[in-house]
Structure formats: C-alpha cells, structure tokens
Amino acid sequence: MTQGPRTVIFDLDGTLADTSGDLLAAANGCFRELGLGDLLDDSDAGVALKGGRAMLALGLSRAGINDEAEIERQYPRLLRRYADAICHHTRLYPGAVTALHHLRAAGYRTGICTNKPEGLSEILLDKLGVRDLFDSLVGADTLPVRKPDPLPFHEAVTRAGGIGSRACLVGDSDTDHRTARAAGVPSILVAFGPSGEDMAALEPEVLLCSFEDLPEVVDNLNL
C-alpha cells in the first residue's frame, strides 16, 4: 500500500518573499491621499506582513485617528494600490527557488497557504516567475476561513495531491505555528524574516536560518 506523496506547504509573505516594501508603499499612498503624508517606514516591515488592516490601523493611530470605519474605507483602496504596484520592491529570499527545485526533484509536492487574497497571490507569484513551482495555492479568501484555522492548510495539501499525515508547513509567524499545531503537522519557521528573532520562542520543530538547509531539514522530518 502506497503512503502518498510528501508535501511541503509554504506561507508567502515574509516566508518565501519579502513583500514589505510594496505593502508599505500602498499604505502610505492611502495616507498621502488623506493629506497625512507617509506614516510608515521600513522599520514597520513586521506590521506590513500582518496585512493591510494592521498597516492602516498603525499609520492612522500615529495621526491620532482611531477609527475602524476609516480603516474599512481605506482597505479596498490599499488593495487596489498594492495590485497596481505589487512587485516593485518585492524579492524572493535567497535560496528559495533552488530549495523548491530540490524538493520537487526529490518527489515532494509543494503548495502555498497564505492569508494574502488568492488573486493577489496569483499575480505576485506570476510576476516573481515561480507560480509553476507550486501545485496548489490557497489564499485568505479561497475558503470561508483562513489561518490559523487548519482547513486552508489541509485544502492546500489536498489540492497539491498530498495527504495531511505526510505534510509540513513553512512559515514566519505565530499564525503559521498555530496553524501547524491545529493541523497536527510539523512547523518550520524561518529566522530570516522581519519577525525572525521571535520565532525561536515559539519552539517550532525546526528553526530555519537559510533556504539552503530546507531540503535536508524536510528529509529529516521523515514525513
């Protein structure tokens, strides 16, 4: 009886690519339109990777505005700005593409499970030239729920042709760690993203310092 293929599911923002520059630019564009100027800078990269609403809330609070309704008004505008300039500053982390090629050559299925909207994720992966390296893509709006609910992870595994008992999640946040725990799979958290210094405290199965190490790390999990 075959066990089924092994599968590695990746988060996108802050895990495979540093998308913070383009996200911050989109938020600052909204703030400038409101006459507030640029309210976020590079030191806010960690907040950028928590999503559009988190950026809007932080920036507006710095202008003395604590208004949930204004955040909701600006959110679709932010998404439009981001879609129009989604890959000006974004870069894949060093070694990511090589690691993906090694995994796939070894027979692993690979997929994406992200809290970024699916359409924007598709656009970004296409522009980065790596969409064909993933067998599945599940975004924030693909299903009625999102991470840390385990359902999007399981859906990403299924769409990749894998099975949940032979899968793991590579991420960069407490959300990814909780998703893996809820799904009952190992978590590999990257130490090189904006929140890298906080990942060790979560005690993942693996703390990844370089994508160069990923193929060996995954093999050692004995999925």
**Arithmetic mean of pLDDT, 5-15:** 96
**Arithmetic mean of pLDDT, 11-26:** 96
Enter the pTM of the model. Answer: 0.94
Q: What is the pLDDT of residues 71-82, one digit of tens each?
A: 999 999 999 999
Residue whose pair of structure tokens reads 């809820």 in the numeric block: 182
Q: Is the distance from CB of 113 to CB of 153 less than 8 angstroms?
A: yes
Across 151-186, b (16+ Cβ under 10 Å) vs e yields bbbbbbbbbbebbeebbbbbbbbeebbbbbbebebb
* 167 φ/ψ angles, rounded to the nearest 5 degrees: -135, 160
Query: Predicted confidence band at 193 (pLDDT cuts at 50, 70, 90)?
Result: confident
- pLDDT for position 1: 43
11 labelled catalytic? yes
Nearest CA-CA partner of 208 in 187, 223, 177: 187
Q: What is the pLDDT of residues 108-118, one digit of tens each?
A: 999 999 999 99
- Catalytic residue (choose from 11, 135, 172, 176): 11
User: Quick one: CA dihedral 77, 80, 82, 84, positive or negative?
Assistant: negative
- pLDDT for position 194: 78
Domain boundaries, the chain: 7-18+90-220, 20-84
- pLDDT for position 2: 53
Query: Predicted confidence band at 196 (pLDDT cuts at 50, 70, 90)?
Result: confident
Nearest CA-CA partner of 5 in 101, 102, 104, 108: 108
CB neighbour class for 141 (10 Å; exposed up to 12, middle 13-18, buried from 19) = middle
Q: What is the pLDDT of residues 173-192, one digit of tens each?
A: 999 999 999 999 999 999 98
Helix (H) or strand (E) holding 43: none
In CATH terms, the superfamily for domain 7-18+90-220 is HAD superfamily/HAD-like (3.40.50.1000)
Query: Predicted confidence band at 148 (pLDDT cuts at 50, 70, 90)?
Result: very high
